[in-house]
Structure formats: C-alpha cells, structure tokens
C-alpha cells in the first residue's frame, strides 16, 4: 500500500468509517430495543415467525426487500433509514435469542420477590431481569455487535455510503482494488478488535 | 376481634396431587404462628398460597377482610434463599419497591430503606452488594426489604434453612424482636426451640392437612396428637444422636 | 405481476442447483480445512501457530463481502485470477474454515484431559487415544455448532451474486432487471431462501439426532 494511495484514501475512508460506526450503533440500538419484547414473547407464534424470517432470509435479500418491495407497498423511506431499519430488525431476531437465554439465567426467586413486592412486569423486566443477566450476556451481545458491524457492509448494495461502498469507489477511482479492499478490511478488523477489547476490558475478577 | 389473616378452606392441587386440603386458619393481629411438619407436608405451599405466589384451587385468603394483591402492602414474605437482587446494594434492594411501587421520592425511599436496615442491625453495611454480605446479613437485608413495605402480615419460609448454623442466631433474633413488637407473622421453620419460644400458636401440618393447631405449651407438651408426638420424637432422637455422636 | 413471479420462480429453479453446489462444496472444504486448522492450533504450541490464529481472526473480523471483493477484484493483481464461481467457492471455504476451526478447537478443549489419560493408561497409543476417544467425544460436542454454521453459510451464498456468481440471487435479480418487477422478484427470493434455510435446519436437526445417537450408542 503506497503512501500516495493512503493520502488519497484517508479522507473518504475516515468519513466512511464514522458512517459504519454510527450505522452499526443505530442498528444495535434498534436490535436491543426490539429484542427485549421479542425475547419476552419468544413462545408466541408472531415472535417465532419474526425470528424465523429474519434469521432464515439472507440479510442481503432483506435489504433488497426494504429497498424494492417497501416502495411497492407504498412505504417510501430514504435508503439510509430503510437500510439501518432492516439491519436493526434483523439484529433484533438474534438479540432476542441472546436475551432469552440470559433471562433464563435469572434465579426465579429474585423475580418472585419482586412480584410479591408489587413491581409490575415491565419494572421486573427492566429493573431486575435485564440488569441481573446483563453481565452473563455481555460476550454474546458483543459478538452480535461484531456481526452487525460486518453485516453493515451489505448496505453498500442499496447505495448507502459506508466503508464498503467507499472502498468500492476508491477501487474504481484509483484502479487499485487490492489496497482499497485490504484497507477496508483492516478498518473493519480494527473496529471489531476494539469491540472485543471492550468485551474483555471490564469483566469482573480479571486484573485490569 | 376480627382476624388479621383469615384462611378458609384453602386447597391446592397440582394435577392429581393434593398439596393442601381444606386449610382453615385465623391469625389475630399480633399473633406469631409457627408452622411445623415433615418435609413435603405443604408448609411452604401454605405460605406461597397465602402470599399469592402459587395459585389456589379452592377457598379464600383474606387480609383484614380483603383479598390481598401483590404490592398492596398486605403480605410480605421472606424466602429461604433470601432472593436479594445481586446487582443492587442492600440499600437499593430495600428502596427499589418503595420508589417503583410506593412512588416515594428517591431521597425519602433511601431514608426509609436505611431506617429498615438499621432495624435489622445493618445500617453500616447499606452500601454493600449481596455478594459482599454473609448469608445471615443477606437474610436480614431481605427482612428489611419486606419490612420497609410495612406489610400487615409477614411470612417467613424457612428463613434460616440455607444458613450455616453459626449465622442462624442473628436472623432468629431479628424475627423474635419483630414478634415482640407485635408483628403478625407466620414462620415455617425446623428450629423447634425457636418456634416453641416465639409462637403464640403452633400449627402442625402433615400431608396438606392441619393435624393440630395449639399453643406451644400444649403442642410440644403432653397434649400433642400422636402424629405430632411421633414427629417431635424423631426430631428429638436426631438431636440426641447428633449430640452424642 | 403473475408473469414476473412465474419468471422469478423459473430463474430460482435455474439458480438453485449452483447455490446448493457451491454451498455443499464450501461446507466440505471449509469443514476439512477448519478441522485441520483447529487441530493444528490445539496440538501445536501457540508460538508456532500464531500466524494461523491471526489469519482466523482476520477472516472472522471482516465482512464476507469485503473478502469476496478482495479475492475477486484484488486477486488478479497478485496473480490469483479466478472465475466468479471458483472465487465464490474459495471465499466461502475460507470464511467457513475460519469459523469451523474455532468450533473444532473449542471441541478439542472441551474433552476432559482425564479421558485421554485413562485411555493412555490402558495401553492405547496416543494416536489411538486421539482417534478412538477424543474424536468421537469431540464430534458429539461440536455437531450442533457445525450444523448451525453450515446453515448460516447458505445465507452467505447470496452475497456471491454481487461478484456475479450466477446462483439463486443473481438469476432472480436478473429477472428483476429485465422486467423492473423488483418487488415481486425480491419477494420470491426471500421466500425461496426462507424455505431453503428452514428445510435445511429441519433436516439437519434430524440428521444431528441420528448421528448423535449413533455416536453415543
């Protein structure tokens, strides 16, 4: 990778990295927010159908659906919103499984005590079940976040400018696809290593 | 005087198994009822049905003439396994329901939580999480958590069964103090000496039926029913065996 | 609209064999390479295998799409000039191998050392102990994860359409481009993949149970 190439690539790739970061953050936020009710309703038919669909259809096809089929159904969203939304909806299906597993680890006695003291179901979910299981779910949640960072590359296909799209542009403008995609891959790797450090950084009982 | 807690024809069935059969029990204000009996006799089920944690198949449970609802302050329960919330400090464990259920402002809830913790002798440890407390201390936090909601009736489900022997006294002392202060309570326990000293009446339960309900002097004395005497004898034999061993 | 759906289904039938072929081939090579990598990383000292570990992390930490681009568009610059199908197979194998290797490695680590020691004490040679004791025990433990990963790889094959592998997605999208009936064609695609993944997951669960029974018997 030549110095000239890096100088040319730096500005656009830096912006694109930021775009990927916030797109992933938004998708994970949507995924978590929707994952909680999905996890609670895991045995209901609609929740099963939801999880089955979003885990059964390739994300690429889901994105194309949002891009092509939603306007057809009269729902016209800006590509960015459709893309981030789809990523978040898909993420929720995976989050639901993680959260369900985490909730199962909460000792039933703690929930019973809360019920007896009069906490509502929502309060028990948010104040008792979620925080108690959070620590145990951390590694799985971080893995899911890493999957989302990687999956966000697919939204380049519907024309949203992020890392992969930016690398494509760079590859065609410089006629140097090899360094362009290598740089792109390295940035993804860096982001994910950062996430892994985050997962490892604050585990209890581990010397800092 | 009207009973504080009125249990009428309480039944609980799970499938074909009858766990509780037509239990009748009136508890007057300020009474401390000891509940004893062999394992599987339905002692815990009785408390859980009164608390509303297990569904009942028949009969009624009334506190001051009304059906109790979770969180209305009628019934509080202390569990064998403490059931503290591990992510919260002792103070937060006690204050949470005050804030979320009683809608108390944070500062007032804190103050009340600390008062409750002081009452069980744990004012100094309010900032600790359960993992940093001994079993006995955890159980006392659990008692404070229940006390802070000022229940009319307190239920203790084998409160010392999960504790090391040397930690039981501190918990039993707290329960005794509460009883002496006039708290209406039901205590399930295998600590026979404690039950004998604490209770105004003792209920002996076997196979889901109240075999005898009498003041401790009668139930632990010569007027015990044969089945009760048999149970107490095996219990005393075990104590004697342990002492002589 | 009916015409577009019919055309999409016809295109799907045309593309499905390649999707399945590339998936099976990718899973096959991925499993084989993953097993070797996992075994080497388990049995050889870490000081020797760190390049392998780095490679696995690099593959797991980057998007499959970027790997495809790197291989298909970047490859020719370093003398790796593959047809789309060949590139797709290689990319899927590499991606699968990285994940499979981690499963195998975890499987090796999960076998209690006492089991192996007991076998050695009874007089089995080390290769015998590994082959007769360790591998069967490990196979049982890793089977569900392997199956899960294999099903995930079906979905990844859709990405290969972007590097013009004429598989399911590519073919059906071709109908979309020709007719502009993108909504219908994409819907057909989604349903076909959904059915494919659910059917595979169902079938593999069955197979998994039978294999587990055979191994446990």
- The model's pLDDT over A110-159, given as tens digits with 9 standing for 90+, comes to 999 998 888 988 899 889 998 888 888 888 889 899 999 999 999 988 88
Which chains reach chain C with 3 or more Cβ–Cβ distances below 8 angstroms?
A: A
CB contact (8 A) between residue B97 and residue A112: no
Chain C neighbors of A64, CB-CB under 8 A:
173, 182, 186, 189
Nearest CB to A56: which of C67, C70, C197?
Answer: C197
CB proximity C67 to A under 8 Å:
yes
Tens-digit pLDDT string for chain B (245 aa): 788 999 999 999 988 888 999 999 999 999 999 999 888 888 999 999 998 888 888 889 998 888 887 767 789 999 998 899 988 999 999 999 999 888 899 999 999 999 999 988 899 999 999 999 998 899 999 999 999 988 999 999 999 888 888 888 888 988 999 899 999 999 999 888 889 888 999 999 999 889 888 888 888 887 878 888 888 888 777 777 777 76
The DSSP string of C121-184 is HTT--HHHHIIIIIHHHHHHHHHHHHHHHHHHHHHHGGGGGGGT--SHHHHHHHHHHHH--HHH
Enclosing domain of residue C115: 2-216
What pLDDT is attached to residue C217?
64
Q: How far is C195 from chain A (nearest CA, A)?
A: 8
Which CATH number do you get for residue C152? 1.10.3720.10
Q: Is residue A26 scored above 80 in pLDDT?
A: yes
pLDDT at A92 over 90: yes
Nearest CB to A68; choose among C78, C182, C198: C182
Cα B182 from Cα B176, distance rounded (Å): 10
Q: What is the DSSP letter of B104?
A: -
In chain B, the domains with their CATH numbers are: 1-74+157-245 (3.40.50.300), 82-150 (no CATH)
Q: Any CB–CB contact under 8 A between C93 and chain A?
A: no
Per the prediction, chain A carries an average pLDDT of 87
- Picking from B45, B52, B87 by the largest number of A CB atoms within 10 A of its own CB, the best residue to mutate is B87
Closest in A58, A167, A181 to C155, CB measured: A58
Q: Which domains does chain A have, with CATH numbers?
A: 21-160 (1.10.3720.10)
A124 Cβ contact list (under 8 Å, min separation 6)? A111, A114, A115
Q: Which of residues 120-159 of C touch A (CB under 8 A)?
A: 155-159
Per-residue pLDDT band for A79 (boundaries 50, 70, 90) equals confident
Q: Is the pLDDT of residue A208 over 50?
A: no
Name all chains with 3 or more CB-CB pairs below 8 Å to chain A.
Answer: B, C
A159 vs C: CB within 8 A: no
Q: What is the mean pLDDT of residues A163-174?
A: 88
Question: In this complex, does chain C touch chain B, defined as having at least 3 beta-carbon pairs under 8 Å apart?
Answer: no
Minimum-distance CB partner of B97 among A109, A117, A134: A117
Q: By three-state DSSP, how is residue B152 classified?
A: coil
Q: Is the pLDDT of residue A36 over 70?
A: yes
SS (H, E, C) chain A: CCHHHHHHHHHHHHHHHHHHHHHHHHHHHHHHHHHHHHHHCCCCHHHHHHHHHHHHCCHHHHHHHHHHHHHHCCCCCCHHHHHHHHHHHHHHHHHHHHHHHHHHCCCHHHHHHHHHCCCCHHHHHHHHHHHHHHHHHHHHHHHHHHHHHHHHHHHHHHCCCCHHHHHHHHHHHHCCHHHHHHHHHHHHHHHHHHHHHHHHHCCCCCCC
Confidence tier at A206 by pLDDT (50, 70, 90): very low
Mutate: best of C15, C61, C78, partner A, most A CBs <10 A: C61
In tens, the pLDDT along B87-133 reads: 899 999 999 999 988 889 999 999 999 999 998 889 999 999 999 99
* Minimal C-alpha gap between A25 and chain C (Å): 17
- DSSP letter, residue B158: S
Residue from B10, B42, B175, B69 nearest A116 by CA: B69
Structurally, chain C folds into a number of domains equal to 1
The pLDDT of residue A202 is: 56
Task: Give the pLDDT of chain C (217 residues) as one tens digit per residue.
Answer: 788 888 888 888 888 999 999 999 999 999 999 999 998 998 888 888 889 999 999 999 999 999 999 999 988 888 888 899 999 999 999 999 999 999 999 888 888 777 777 877 777 777 777 777 778 888 888 888 898 899 999 999 999 999 888 988 888 888 877 777 788 888 889 999 999 999 988 888 888 788 778 766 6
Of B77, B86, B100, the CB nearest to A123: B100
């Amino acid at each position: 990778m030549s110095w000239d190439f890096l100088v040319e690539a730096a500005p656009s790739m830096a912006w694109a990295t930021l775009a990927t970061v916030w797109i992933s953050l938004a998708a994970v936020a949507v995924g978590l927010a929707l994952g909680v009710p999905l996890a609670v309703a895991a045995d209901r038919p609609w929740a099963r159908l939801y999880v089955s669909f979003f885990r059964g259809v390739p994300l690429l096809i889901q994105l194309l659906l949002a891009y092509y089929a939603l306007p057809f159904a009269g729902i016209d969203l800006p590509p960015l919103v459709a893309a981030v939304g789809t990523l978040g909806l898909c993420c929720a299906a995976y989050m639901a499984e993680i959260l369900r597993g985490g909730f199962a680890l909460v000792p039933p006695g703690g929930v019973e005590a809360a019920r007896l003291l009069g906490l509502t179901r929502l309060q028990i979910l948010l104040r008792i079940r979620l925080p108690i299981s959070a620590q145990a779910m951390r590694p799985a949640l971080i893995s899911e976040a890493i999957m989302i960072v990687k999956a966000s590359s697919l939204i380049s296909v519907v024309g949203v400018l992020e890392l992969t799209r930016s690398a494509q542009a760079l590859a065609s403008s410089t006629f140097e696809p090899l360094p362009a995609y290598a740089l792109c891959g390295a940035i993804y790797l860096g982001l994910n290593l950062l996430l892994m450090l985050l997962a490892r950084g604050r585990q209890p009982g581990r010397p800092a | 005087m009207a009973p504080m807690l009125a249990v009428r024809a309480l039944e609980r069935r799970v499938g074909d198994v009858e766990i509780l059969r037509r239990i009748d029990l009136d508890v007057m204000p300020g009474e401390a009822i000891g509940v004893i009996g062999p394992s599987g006799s339905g002692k815990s089920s009785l408390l859980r049905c009164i608390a509303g944690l297990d569904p009942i198949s028949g009969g009624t449970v009334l506190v001051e003439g009304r059906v109790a609802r979770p969180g209305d302050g009628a019934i509080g329960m202390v569990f064998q396994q403490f059931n503290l919330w591990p992510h919260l400090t002792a103070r937060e464990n006690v204050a949470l329901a005050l804030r979320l259920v009683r809608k108390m402002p944070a500062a007032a809830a804190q103050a009340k939580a600390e008062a409750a913790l002081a009452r069980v002798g744990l004012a100094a440890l309010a900032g600790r999480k359960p993992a940093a407390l001994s079993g006995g201390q955890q159980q006392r936090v659990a008692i404070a958590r229940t006390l802070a909601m000022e229940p009319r009736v307190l239920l203790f489900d084998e409160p010392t069964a999960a504790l090391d022997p040397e930690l039981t006294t501190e918990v039993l002392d707290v329960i005794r103090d509460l009883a002496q202060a006039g708290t209406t309570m039901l205590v399930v326990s295998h600590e026979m000496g404690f039950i004998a000293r604490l209770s105004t009446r003792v209920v002996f339960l076997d196979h889901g039926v109240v075999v005898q309900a009498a003041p401790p002097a009668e139930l632990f004395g010569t007027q015990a029913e044969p089945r009760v005497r048999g149970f107490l004898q095996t219990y005393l034999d075990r104590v004697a065996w342990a002492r002589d061993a | 609209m009916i015409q577009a759906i019919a055309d999409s289904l016809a295109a799907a039938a045309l593309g499905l064999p390649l999707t399945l072929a590339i998936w099976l081939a990718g899973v096959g090579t991925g499993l084989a390479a993953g097993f070797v990598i996992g075994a080497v990383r388990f049995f050889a000292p870490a000081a020797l295998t760190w390049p392998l570990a780095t490679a696995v992390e690099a593959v797991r930490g980057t998007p499959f799409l970027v790997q495809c681009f790197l291989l298909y568009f970047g490859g020719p610059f370093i003398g790796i000039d593959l047809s789309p199908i060949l590139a797709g197979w290689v990319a899927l194998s590499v991606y699968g191998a990285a994940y499979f290797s981690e499963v195998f490695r975890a499987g090796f680590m999960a076998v209690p050392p006492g089991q192996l020691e007991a076998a050695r004490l009874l007089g089995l040679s080390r290769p015998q102990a590994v082959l007769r004791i360790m591998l069967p025990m490990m196979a049982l433990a890793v089977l569900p994860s392997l199956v899960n990963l294999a099903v995930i790889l079906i979905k990844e094959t859709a990405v290969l359409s972007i590097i013009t592998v004429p598989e399911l997605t590519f073919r059906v999208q071709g109908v979309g481009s020709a007719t502009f009936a993108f909504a219908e064609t994409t819907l057909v695609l989604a349903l076909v993949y959904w059915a494919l993944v659910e059917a595979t997951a169902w079938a593999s669960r069955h197979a998994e149970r039978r294999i587990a029974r055979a191994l446990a018997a």
